[in-house]
Amino acid sequence: MSDTELPQLYLVTPPQIDLSVFPPLLARALDTVDVACLRLELATRDEDDIARAADACREICHGRDIAIVIADHLLLVERLGLDGVHFTDGAKQLRQTRKDLGADAILGAFCGTSNHDGMIAGEQGADYVAFGPVGESNLGDGTIAERDLFAWWSEMIEVPVVAEGGLSEALIRDLAPVTDFFCLGEEIWTSDDPVATLERLANARG
């Protein structure tokens, strides 16, 4: 990432979505702040519920030229017209998934705090690697991904890197020079005014 570029924003859905409330809220958020990608990450395993949420979110995202990926459910990517899959368990399925979904699919991998796992993910075809949490969060096992990891990665590795989990304005300011994306989820959706919170955190990038 060059010094003149701000990290891009990447949103992740709440684990539960009210389809009468969330889609218009998402639309307002995406119309307020430039976002590169949305990740559908629901707690439910009910395919009908996932499909309904995916349809609503996909229409909003694709109408704004924003990519939408799904967490882990790789078999639903093509069926639901999504752009790719984010693996929450690192690189285990990346190589075969790349063969199955093709070169244009977006493949991402969450690798906790391990640059070794991140490098394996990159070698196996990941389009990005996510590390975290960077602050107080239930993400992963709670071990903090330190700034040094992002600094090393951004200097040594070409695969884009995502910082996620427990982001604050202070952390965003600190990590902005050494990451390509900030992934925001509970930081905004659990606030009283998600759109205003997203805008405030986006402005902290620089």
**Residues ≥6 apart with Cβ < 8 Å to 84:** 67, 69, 70, 77, 101, 105, 106, 107, 108, 127
pLDDT band of residue 2 (cuts 50, 70, 90) is very low
Percent above pLDDT 70 for the chain? 98
For residue 1, the model assigns a pLDDT of 38
Q: How far is CA 61 from CA 28, 52, 95, in A?
A: 11, 14, 27
Position 3 in a domain:
no
Q: What is the mean pLDDT of residues 129-139?
A: 93
Please determine, for residue 3, whether its predicted confidence score (pLDDT) is greater than 50. no
Overall number of domains in the chain: 1
Q: CB of 184 within 8 A of CB of 11?
A: yes
Q: What is the mean pLDDT of residues 167-196?
A: 98
User: What does pLDDT average to over the chain?
Assistant: 95
Alpha helices in the chain (DSSP H): 22-32, 47-62, 94-101, 115-123, 147-156, 169-175, 186-189, 194-203
Position 2 in a domain:
no
Position 165 in a domain:
yes
Written as one letter, the residue type at 194 is P
For residue 22, the model assigns a pLDDT of 98
pLDDT band of residue 189 (cuts 50, 70, 90) is very high
For residue 66, the model assigns a pLDDT of 98
> What is the rounded CA–CA span in Å between residue 31 and residue 47?
29
pLDDT in tens, 55-112: 999 999 999 999 999 999 999 999 999 999 999 998 889 999 999 999 999 999 999 9
For residue 54, the model assigns a pLDDT of 98
Residue 10's nearest CA partner among 81, 83, 89, 91 is: 83
Q: What is the pTM of this model?
A: 0.95
Q: CB of 83 within 8 A of CB of 68?
A: yes
Position 1 in a domain:
no
Q: Which domain, by its residues, includes 194?
A: 8-203
pLDDT band of residue 138 (cuts 50, 70, 90) is confident
Which of the pair, 16 or 137, is modelled with greater confidence? 16
Q: CB of 181 within 8 A of CB of 147?
A: no
What CATH number is attached to the domain comprising 182?
3.20.20.70
pLDDT band of residue 14 (cuts 50, 70, 90) is very high
Position 164 in a domain:
yes
Q: CB of 185 within 8 A of CB of 13?
A: yes
pLDDT in tens, 33-54: 999 999 999 999 999 999 999 9
